[in-house]
């Protein structure tokens, strides 16, 4: 079963008359109308958009209560061509009388919509070029930057001073060669006792310094 809305060839959802794309859209309240609701439970064709207030005009409102053709001239600027009531877009002209920018490609008179080009002739590598232009570049023959220049001199002195203070601290344990010499000449239990004695002497000396 196809989707209910006209022009849609998608399959309808299970136990539904709409496809996934139109699942949250309502249908016009006019019988036998297969269009979507625009406003007030009606589609655009059947009154979902307000119509121009001029008698006999079936166009939708574009400026206030009027369409583009019947809107007051002080609200919308009209084409400067004699006898033309269309809206002016560029150089005081409507699209038909030259009020548009054409594609920059020779021989193409299509309306330019993207930086001087139409949709057909728009450069395809434009997104990639924008990304490359945004990246910082450095000449190949440039010398490597000294990262130390990024830090202020005060920060460097603080770091070096911190390192010097760390180097002045006493070691927590005796040198490894002392333990190896003791272990090679005395039993294991005696070595452990000597290590414990050395640790006690060290912590006792540290407490006296503080």
Contact yes or no for 61/49 (Cβ under 8 A): yes
Structural tokens at position 188: 């294991």
Rounded-to-integer distance, Cα 37 and Cα 177, Å: 90
Beta-strand ranges (E) seen in the chain are none
Rounded-to-integer distance, Cα 109 and Cα 88, Å: 19
- Give the mean pLDDT of 73-93: 75
- Alpha carbon 56 to its chain's center: 48
pLDDT over threshold 70, residue 179: no
* pLDDT at 69 (0 to 100): 74
Radius of gyration of the chain (CA): 42
* pLDDT at 28 (0 to 100): 92
- pLDDT tens, 131-150? 556 566 556 555 556 555 55
Identify the weakest region by mean pLDDT among 62-71, 109-118, 140-149, 197-206: 140-149
Compute φ and ψ for 170, nearest 5 degrees: -70, 150
Identify the weakest region by mean pLDDT among 21-30, 152-161, 199-208: 152-161
- The domain limits of the chain are 1-49, 176-201
Q: What is the pTM of this model?
A: 0.30
**Helix/strand/coil for 17:** coil
* pLDDT at 65 (0 to 100): 78
- Percent of the chain scoring above 90 in pLDDT: 7
* pLDDT at 91 (0 to 100): 74
* pLDDT at 206 (0 to 100): 62
Q: Identify which has the larger pLDDT, 88 or 170.
A: 88
- pLDDT tens, 144-175? 565 555 555 555 555 555 545 455 555 555 55
pLDDT over threshold 70, residue 4: yes
pLDDT over threshold 90, residue 33: yes
């Amino acid at each position: 079963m196809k989707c209910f809305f006209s022009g849609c060839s998608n399959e309808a959802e299970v136990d539904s008359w709409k496809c996934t794309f139109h699942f949250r859209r309502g249908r016009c309240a006019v019988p036998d109308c297969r269009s979507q609701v625009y406003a007030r439970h009606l589609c655009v064709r059947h009154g979902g958009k307000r119509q121009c207030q001029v008698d006999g005009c079936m166009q939708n409102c574009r400026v206030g209560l009027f369409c583009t053709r019947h809107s007051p001239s002080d609200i919308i600027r009209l084409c400067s061509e004699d006898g033309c009531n269309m809206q002016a877009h560029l150089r005081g002209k409507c699209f038909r009388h030259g009020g548009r920018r054409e594609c920059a490609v020779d021989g193409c008179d299509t309306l330019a919509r993207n930086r001087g080009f139409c949709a057909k002739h728009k450069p395809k590598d434009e997104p990639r070029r924008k990304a490359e232009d945004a990246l910082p570049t450095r000449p190949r023959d440039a010398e490597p930057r000294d990262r130390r220049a990024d830090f202020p001199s005060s920060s460097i002195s603080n770091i070096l001073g911190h390192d010097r203070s760390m180097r002045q601290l006493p070691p927590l344990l005796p040198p490894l060669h002392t333990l190896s010499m003791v272990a090679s000449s005395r039993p294991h239990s005696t070595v452990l006792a000597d290590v414990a004695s050395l640790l006690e002497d060290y912590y006792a000396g540290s407490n006296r310094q503080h």
